[in-house]
Structures are given as structure tokens and as C-alpha cells.
Amino acid sequence: MTWNLAEFASFVGGQLIGDASPVCTGANPPPQAAETDITLLDDPKRADSIVHSKAAAVVVDQEIESLERPQIVVNDPHQAFAKIVTHFRPPIDSVGEDAKPEIASSAAVHPTAVIGRGVTIGHRSLIGPGTVIMPRCKIGDDCVVHANTTLYEYTELSDRVIIHAGSVIGANGFGYRQQQGEHIPTSQLGYVAIESDVEVGAGVTIDRGTYSATRIGAGTKIDNQVQIGHNCQIGRHNLLCSQVGIAGSCTTGDYVVMAGQVGLADHVHCGDRTIIGAQAGVMDDLAGDQVYLGAPCKTQREQMQIFAVERKLPEMRRELKKLRRELEQLKGPSEGSGRRAA
Amino acid sequence: MTWNLAEFASFVGGQLIGDASPVCTGANPPPQAAETDITLLDDPKRADSIVHSKAAAVVVDQEIESLERPQIVVNDPHQAFAKIVTHFRPPIDSVGEDAKPEIASSAAVHPTAVIGRGVTIGHRSLIGPGTVIMPRCKIGDDCVVHANTTLYEYTELSDRVIIHAGSVIGANGFGYRQQQGEHIPTSQLGYVAIESDVEVGAGVTIDRGTYSATRIGAGTKIDNQVQIGHNCQIGRHNLLCSQVGIAGSCTTGDYVVMAGQVGLADHVHCGDRTIIGAQAGVMDDLAGDQVYLGAPCKTQREQMQIFAVERKLPEMRRELKKLRRELEQLKGPSEGSGRRAA
Amino acid sequence: MTWNLAEFASFVGGQLIGDASPVCTGANPPPQAAETDITLLDDPKRADSIVHSKAAAVVVDQEIESLERPQIVVNDPHQAFAKIVTHFRPPIDSVGEDAKPEIASSAAVHPTAVIGRGVTIGHRSLIGPGTVIMPRCKIGDDCVVHANTTLYEYTELSDRVIIHAGSVIGANGFGYRQQQGEHIPTSQLGYVAIESDVEVGAGVTIDRGTYSATRIGAGTKIDNQVQIGHNCQIGRHNLLCSQVGIAGSCTTGDYVVMAGQVGLADHVHCGDRTIIGAQAGVMDDLAGDQVYLGAPCKTQREQMQIFAVERKLPEMRRELKKLRRELEQLKGPSEGSGRRAA
């Protein structure tokens, strides 16, 4: 599985610029890449996204001189990077296979659960009836995965994670590009990582990342029927109430609270301790330590004033007409009014 | 299964007006009816809905002279039509039966999947663990139905359809009529037809039609937790983002896009290439080739102006009060003000 | 299981004030408590909530002299009450057990369904493939529980209840208290009770009560993907359309109608025959026999006026600016304007 950079360059038919000897053990987008990972730069203008990345090497479509790191130059960086990601996480037959998982002797797996090849299940974890754990999932200690839940391949649960019935973790993200009038699915090669002490409600869906993990931070609690899109990085100790919908690539800080039916557009960031009121619609980044309401959402202070004035709107419209009439009277017939003149 | 019109009239205890000899092979509402189908007219005022229908004959509650087609006259057209529909699609024991489906040798069905009697599964299709395919479903070639999904009886998937885990296709529509204070379910005798190259996310629900098919057009992509009501006719190459809710009998053109959490009232039509922004609420038909925002939704241009002015509302209210004060001053104490006079 | 009050006081290490002899058979919050139940008073200021309760005895944290009922005084009433509730409904291993349920000979249970220990299933009821009925559930006569549904332990269905595929009934409520920066789950010891003639759609989630039942009243119909939080008491013959979200502890009267995507904040009450329009957001109690629209919702009459004026907002803003200009002209240069003066 692990090769040096020369081998990876050859694997994707690319040209290696820089030191060929580093051995790489994974592939991740710039912010998530570890020191032995390969990463991707799909737009030369965003070369500064690499500066803060720990990645050992970068896949690019043209040499970037300012990058002080080995580069693998290819024609189609997404295709090449997808090939490398797939090398580390090979695709799994979606029908699954149920042979030889590693299950701790203190764990309890209901006989109707389906446990795929290469799955590991830690101490004292419970897997409910009808639950499907696809191949190569990793489940830590003291987890409970309730009935009829589905974990797609490579899903990772840390310790003390609870998932309620009917949830689906790790399905493909909703990403397409149009080509000759058809929507062609983009790569959905990542997985879902759920950190310790997370509780996930019933009927929740969390999509896998494009190349890497959609991540739920430790201690976060997720209510029923929440949807979390691909590549989201949810912080620690968040509370996401029922029917919240978070589009792809959103990030949240710690202790963020979203009330019921809140919606986030893609790529939005919510700072630490952001609180978002029920049914609010978030289109832009939100600074933390504040309460936001409404759609499109505003600070609580601003939105409450607007809500209050909205109820006066019919009265305001009448007053506006009255002012107009009285002003016309004041101006008198000899002057003429702007309106009559127009 | 196939009878001539005389036999159908006798079957429902109705009076046949017109040619008794045509043999009918199906029953569908006027817009979907083929040339050998029987159709239904439940309101004589809408007789023109029959003009464009290809149907061979019409079930009515009184003779309509202007109709140049055989008529079966009965007391209760809905009851009679439901009886004919049921003749063609007899009810299935909801517990299901798992005997003798026709499965292509290249298809892979997980041993824990339940495949009902009379189901057909095409070449290279994959059926995941715990998935339930109720009797008489038809699944084409190269389909993937992921784990723990349920297809109700008579569901039809064309080729290359993907359905993610936990989705439910073909449950009863939400239709009731009140009778002596109770909600009595109306007939839900139809099914769901999903055309080629459709991808359906996780936790999606699509209800069967009343008498005929709820239809998803070729190439359309549906994200997680979308709800599509009974009788909807979704066009081709639509993109329906997460948590969209479409009430019964809606129709969409081609290349329609709905962002997250959009809601459509029943019987709404969206023209080709309509784009609807997140959380918008659609109460009326939308012309195509435009972007709509807000609830109730408006064109993007109009809604953006309104959103901008909404943020000025507190300022506008203050200005209105100031204008009133200044106008009263101008009018002077001798004139008196409208308010004092009132 | 049934003890007298002296035994219960000893069981929770509390001090009994009053008659020790009454035998108690259950534990419920004040409004739901029967004459042989123990109840809970967690805030001495709300002692009047006990006046209308039928409960035989009350768990309190200090003696309340005005209470003319036996009291069990403890340090932590929630902890003590939870212990008593757990005595009556002991926790179930979440992996479930599938031995020796009582199933009527006329009922039909698919061989892939999982039926837990102590479950009872009434005459002619049907349990679909892949459905999981956890221990000690009670299912009445003529019920249909479709495929891949999960009923958590102690769920009760009366007669003629239909539950569509993929629904999850009785998962834990979303209740946490913060302690040293972590969200600690509060007790979720109750269950779900669904009365006769209720139909529940596909992908619905209904959470168990904290100590007692989340209840759905007879004849109520619930569409797909509805979420009902813990402790809700839904009335009879309600219609809850698709994707409605009802937060915890809400109550509704009879014949309430909620259109699609409506959201209710917690502890809201909707009176008999309340009608709530699509996507409305309900923050406060609603009187019955009225139609409400919008978020935050208002009466239909008020909201329709506001919607109408909203569309005039850009015009109103222009008119306001024009009035200002004309007023300044009227006042003339010699007077100066308020603005310049400021």
C-alpha cells in the first residue's frame, strides 16, 4: 500500500519534480493531510492553500515554482488524485461480504446483523438486529449501533458512539458535473469519521467525503432526521436538532447549537458557540458567540427588530398613503404635485 | 387480465355506451392513458381533459354526449375505476412472499435481502443486505439498490438506477376523505416508476400514485431525505437537493433544480430549467428559465429587492414617524392635525 | 413489581410522609398519572400541578405541607423517580432477544422480522420483512407494520395501526444537560403509545417520552418523514403532512392539521381544529379554530396582509424618500431641515 513518490508518479503517469524518496501512506485534501500524505492542488491560484498543509507532496496540473514541496505533474489532477485515494481505500462491492470481521469477545452482534469483511468491532459494543456494517468499517469500544442502521464501507466510529435506528452513515455525496446534458457523478471516494461520545439520532444521513473524511467532532449530539453533506467538518460538543440540513463542505467550531429545521448552504463556517434559531437559513459564514435568526439569517437583535416592524407593515403602508395625501394638501392646488406633473 | 369493454362494464356493474368490442389492457388517468387503456372522468365539467387522452374508453357517472368515445356509466366512478385498476394490479399481501423471482445470473443479491414473488432483476444489478423488494417489482440492468432499502410492490426501476440505503419507494400516498369525523384513506393503487440513470439518495421517500405511476424522469438525481408525494411526474435531469418536499401531483419539466429544504404545494408545475433557492416555498406554477427565492417564492430579482429593503425596515419606521412629526409642525397648531381631529 | 409506598420509599432511600399502605402499580408525570401511580414534583413552586393529578403519591425534594397526599422526600427527585420508572419498565438490552413472544395464530410475521422477548402481537396483524420489534412491545389487532421498520422496546400499538417502511418508533429523545463542558444525556425511560386507527408514513421518527408515553391520538394520520419529539401528546384525528417537525412536549387538540414542513418549538399547544400552513414556524400556543401562516406564524388574515405589503416594500422605500425630498422643499432653505440641523 505504501510507496515512495517515484512509485506514485509512475502509478498516475505523472512527472515527479523534487525528492523521489519520501514514502507516502495516505491521500487527503490540504487541510486534512498528514506529513506522509499526498495532497491535491486543483487550481494554481490557490497555491497558498498548500502553505499550511503538512502534506509530503502535491498533485498539480503544472509546475508551481513557489511550492517548496515535491510535485507530481499530471494532465487531470482530480483523476490522478482519485486514483491515489482509491489505492489506499479500494472500492468495496456494494453487495458486501460477510466474512471474518474482528469482533471483540465482549461485543454483542445480533444474528441478523450483517458484518462485512475486514470490519473491526471493539469491546462491549452492541450491534442491533438488521444493521448492516459494510466492509472495512472500524467500530470502537462501548458503541451502540441500533437496529436497521447502515454504515457504508470504511466508516469509523470512535468509542462510546451511539447511532439510533434507521440512520445511514457514509452514502455518496450529492456531487455531479454536467456533460453533454447529463449529470455525471463526481468522485465520492471518502468516508465518515465519528469521534468519541457522539450520539446520532434515528433516520439521520451523513455523507462520505469526496476524497477524505466527513467528520463529526467528539461529544456532538445529533437529533433525528438531520442531514450532513459530504466533506463537512462538524466541531466538538455541537447540538444539531431535528431536521437540520447542512450542505457540503460546511465547518463548525465547538459548542455550536442549531435548532430544528435550520439549513446551511455549502461551504459555510459557523464559529465557536454560534447559536442558530429554528428554521433559519444560513448563506454566509457566521461569527461565533452570537445568536442568529431568520432566513436569510441575521443577528438576533437585528432580526427581532425586523420581525417587530413586519407586523406593522400594513399600518406603515396606510400611514405612508396618508402622509402623501396630507403633503399634497399642504402643497396646495397651485403648486401641482410631482405625481400629477409626471 | 385483458377483457373487452362489454366485459369491463359488466365487471363494474355499469352501462356501456358505444362500441363493446375494444379489448383493454390497462387503466390510467387521462394524461397517462395509452390507446388500449380505460380512463376516468370524475367531474363532467372537465370533459375536455378527455379530449387529449388516448384512452379507449371512459368511466363516468353520467353519459356525456360530446364524448366521442365508449363510456361506462356507473354510480361511483372512483369505486368502479379502482376496481378496474385492481384487476390489472391485484393487491399484494404486505408481508410479502419470497419465492421464484427471475434474477439474471450476473446479478448479485445479498443473502439477507428479501425478494418477493414475481420480481424480475436484470443483468449485473446488485441488491444490498437487508433490502426488501416486494412482489412484482421490476428492476432493470446495472441497478444498485443499497442496504436496508424497501421497494413496495410493483415498483419499476429502469436501467442504471442507484438507490441509497434506507430509502422507501412506493409507500401509500397521504390521501384521506373525512366521513363521520374520521379520515378514511382514499385508494392508493398505483406504483412508482423510476427511469434510467436516476440516482436516489439515502432516506428518500417516494409515494406510489393513486391509480397509476408516480414517475421520476431519466437522469434525475435526488439527494438524501427528499420526499416526493403521490402522482408526481418529475421531469428528466432534475437535481433535487436534500430535504426537498414535493406534495402530491406536482409536475416538473427538464433540468429543474431545487436547492435544500424547498417545499412545493400540491399540483404545482415547474417549467424547464426552473431553479428554486434553498428553503423556498412554492405555492403556484413557476415559469421555466428563471430563478426563484423565498417563501412564498418570487423571482430572484423581486425577492432580492425585498430582502434588501427588509433590512431597512426599522430605519423606515423611524423615518416614517419623523416625517409625521415634521409634517404636523409644518401644518402648524392653527390647522389642527388629522389625528387630533379624528 | 407492585409494592406499597413504604416499600417504594425504602427502594429510593427516601422518607415517607403520609399513609404507607397504598399499593402503586406505575409511575407517570402528573397529567398522565393514574390513581395507583406515583408521580414527580421537581419544582416546589409548581405544587398546583399536583392538585389535578390523580397520582397516589408524589416524589419531592422537601415536604410540602399543602399537599394532601403521601410524599416521598428525597435529595434528587429526578434520580429517585427514574429509579421507580425503571422498576416498572426495566431497561432492555439494545441488541434485543428473539424468544417466546406471544403471537396470535392469525397474525403473519415475515421470517426475516425480529420479534423480541415478551412481545405480543394481536389477531390478523402483519409484520413485514426486516422489521424489528424490540422486547415487550404490544401490538394490537389488525395492525400492519411494513418492512424495515424499528419499534424500540415497550412501544404500544392499539388496533388497526399502520406503520410504513423505514419508520423508527421509540428512539431516545434529544435531551441533554451540560456538565463540565459535556452534554450528558438525561433520562429517556418512557415509550411510545399509538392509539387505534393511526396511520404512520415512511421514514417517520417518534421519540419515547422521558418517563412516560409520547402519545399519538386515535385516528391521527402522519405523512412521511415527520419527526415527533419526546413527551408530545398528539390529539385525535390530526393530519400531519410530510416533513413536519414537532419538538418535545408539544400537545395538540383534535382535528389539527399541519401542512408540509411546519415546525413547532417545544412545549407549544395547538387547540382543536388549528390549521397551520406549509413551512410555518410555531413558537407559541395557538388558539384552535383558526388558520395560521408564516414564520414566525400569525393568523392567516394578518399574515396575508403582511405578505401583500412585503411585495410593495421596494415601492414604499422609494415613496418614503420622495416624501422626504418634497417635505424638505416645502420647508424651504430658510427653515433648515431636521437633518442638517442634527
Q: Do B302 and C316 touch (CB under 8 A)?
A: no
> Distance (Å) from the C-alpha of residue B177 to the closest C-alpha of chain A?
29
| Strands B15-17 vs B71-73: parallel, antiparallel or unpaired | antiparallel
| DSSP conformation letters of B155-208 | -EE-TT-EE-TT-EEEEPP--EEEETTEEEEPP---EEEE-TT-EE-TT-EEEP
Which range is least confidently modeled, A25-34, C232-241, C266-275, C326-335?
Answer: C326-335
- Count of CB pairs separated by less than 8 Å, A with B: 161
Longest dimension (CA), chain A: 99
∠ CA B20-B26-B29 to the nearest 5 degrees?
100
Task: Output the pLDDT for position C341.
Answer: 37
Res. C340: pLDDT tops 70: no
- Distance from the Cα of residue A204 to its chain's centroid: 14
How many Å apart are CA A51 and CA B78, to the nearest integer? Answer: 69
User: Confidence band (pLDDT; 50, 70, 90) for C57?
Assistant: very high
Which range is least confidently modeled, C51-60, C85-94, C101-110, C174-183?
Answer: C85-94
Task: Output the pLDDT for position C308.
Answer: 96
How many Å apart are CA A328 and CA C342, to the nearest integer? Answer: 26
**Optimal mutation site among B313, B327, B330, interface A, most CBs of chain A within 10 A:** B313
pLDDT (mean) for B239-261: 98
Task: Output the pLDDT for position C49.
Answer: 83
| DSSP conformation letters of B30-83 | TTT--TTEEEE-S-GGGTHHHHT---SEEEESS--TT--S-EEE-S-HHHHHHH
Res. B339: pLDDT tops 50: no
Q: Do C147 and B134 touch (CB under 8 A)?
A: yes
Taking CB atoms and an 8 Å cutoff, what residues of chain B touch C324?
319, 323
Res. A178: pLDDT tops 50: yes
User: Confidence band (pLDDT; 50, 70, 90) for A336?
Assistant: very low
User: Confidence band (pLDDT; 50, 70, 90) for C43?
Assistant: confident
Taking CB atoms and an 8 Å cutoff, what residues of chain B touch A263?
243, 260-261, 278-279
Taking CB atoms and an 8 Å cutoff, what residues of chain A touch C313?
313
Active-site position among C87, C146, C230, C237: C230
Chains that touch A (3 or more CB pairs under 8 A): B, C
> Crossing angle, helix C300-310 and helix C313-335, to 10 degrees?
60
User: Confidence band (pLDDT; 50, 70, 90) for B98?
Assistant: low
pLDDT (mean) for C309-320: 96
Does the annotation count B110 as an active-site position?
no
How many Å apart are CA A167 and CA A203, to the nearest integer? Answer: 4
How much helix, strand and coil, in percent to the nearest 5, is found in chain C? Answer: 20, 30, 55
Q: Which distant-in-sequence residues (6+ apart) come within 8 Å of B246 by Cβ?
A: B226, B227, B228, B229, B232, B234, B240, B263, B264
Task: Output the pLDDT for position C335.
Answer: 47
Which pLDDT tens digit goes with each residue over B132-190?
Answer: 999 999 999 999 999 999 999 999 999 999 999 999 999 999 999 999 999 999 989 99
Find out whether B274 and B257 touch, Cβ atoms under 8 Å: yes
User: Confidence band (pLDDT; 50, 70, 90) for B101?
Assistant: confident
Which pLDDT tens digit goes with each residue over A19-31?
Answer: 999 999 999 999 9
> Distance (Å) from the C-alpha of residue A215 to the closest C-alpha of chain B?
18
Cis peptide before B296 (omega within 30 of 0): yes
Torsion angle, CA of B2/B32/C259/C263, rounded to 10 degrees?
A: 100
User: Confidence band (pLDDT; 50, 70, 90) for A97?
Assistant: low
User: Confidence band (pLDDT; 50, 70, 90) for C332?
Assistant: confident
Res. B335: pLDDT tops 70: no
How many Å apart are CA A152 and CA A209, to the nearest integer? Answer: 12
- How high is the mean pLDDT of chain C? 93
Which pLDDT tens digit goes with each residue over A302-324?
Answer: 999 999 999 999 999 999 999 99
> Crossing angle, helix A313-335 and helix C313-335, to 10 degrees?
40
pLDDT (mean) for C88-99: 71
User: Confidence band (pLDDT; 50, 70, 90) for C51?
Assistant: confident
Model pTM score: 0.94
Longest dimension (CA), chain C: 99
pLDDT: is C185 or B97 the higher one? C185
Q: Do C225 and B207 touch (CB under 8 A)?
A: no
How many Å apart are CA A56 and CA A71, to the nearest integer? Answer: 9
Residue in A144, A221, A239 nearest the CB of C94: A144
How many Å apart are CA A34 and CA A53, to the nearest integer? Answer: 8
Task: Give me the percent of chain B exceeding a pLDDT of 70.
Answer: 96
Res. A187: pLDDT tops 50: yes
Q: Which distant-in-sequence residues (6+ apart) come within 8 Å of B291 by Cβ?
A: B275, B276, B277, B299, B300
Taking CB atoms and an 8 Å cutoff, what residues of chain C touch B322?
338
- Secondary structure, 3-state, B104-159: CCCCEECCCCEECCCCEECCCCEECCCCEECCCCEECCCCEECCCCEECCCCEECC
Find out whether C235 and C215 touch, Cβ atoms under 8 Å: no
| DSSP conformation letters of A174-202 | --EEEETTEEEEPP---EEEE-TT-EE-T
Q: Do C203 and B168 touch (CB under 8 A)?
A: yes
Residue C276 DSSP SS3: strand
> Distance (Å) from the C-alpha of residue A193 to the closest C-alpha of chain C?
20
Res. B94: pLDDT tops 70: no
Res. C238: pLDDT tops 80: yes
Joined grid coordinates for residue A81? 488524485
Taking CB atoms and an 8 Å cutoff, what residues of chain B touch A112?
112
β-strand partners of B179: B182
| Strands A199-200 vs C233-234: parallel, antiparallel or unpaired | unpaired
Task: Output the pLDDT for position C42.
Answer: 86
The C-alpha cell 424618500 sits at: C321
Which pLDDT tens digit goes with each residue over A126-166?
Answer: 999 999 999 999 999 999 999 999 999 999 999 999 999 99
How many Å apart are CA B246 and CA B214, to the nearest integer? Answer: 12
Task: Output the pLDDT for position A65.
Answer: 87
| Strands C191-194 vs C182-185: parallel, antiparallel or unpaired | unpaired
How many Å apart are CA A285 and CA A252, to the nearest integer? Answer: 10
Which pLDDT tens digit goes with each residue over C22-31?
Answer: 999 999 999 9
Task: Output the pLDDT for position C218.
Answer: 98
Which pLDDT tens digit goes with each residue over B196-238?
Answer: 999 999 999 999 999 999 999 999 999 999 999 999 999 999 9
- How high is the mean pLDDT of chain A? 93
Res. C55: pLDDT tops 60: yes
**Optimal mutation site among C119, C132, C244, interface A, most CBs of chain A within 10 A:** C132
Q: Do C203 and A199 touch (CB under 8 A)?
A: no
Res. A338: pLDDT tops 80: no
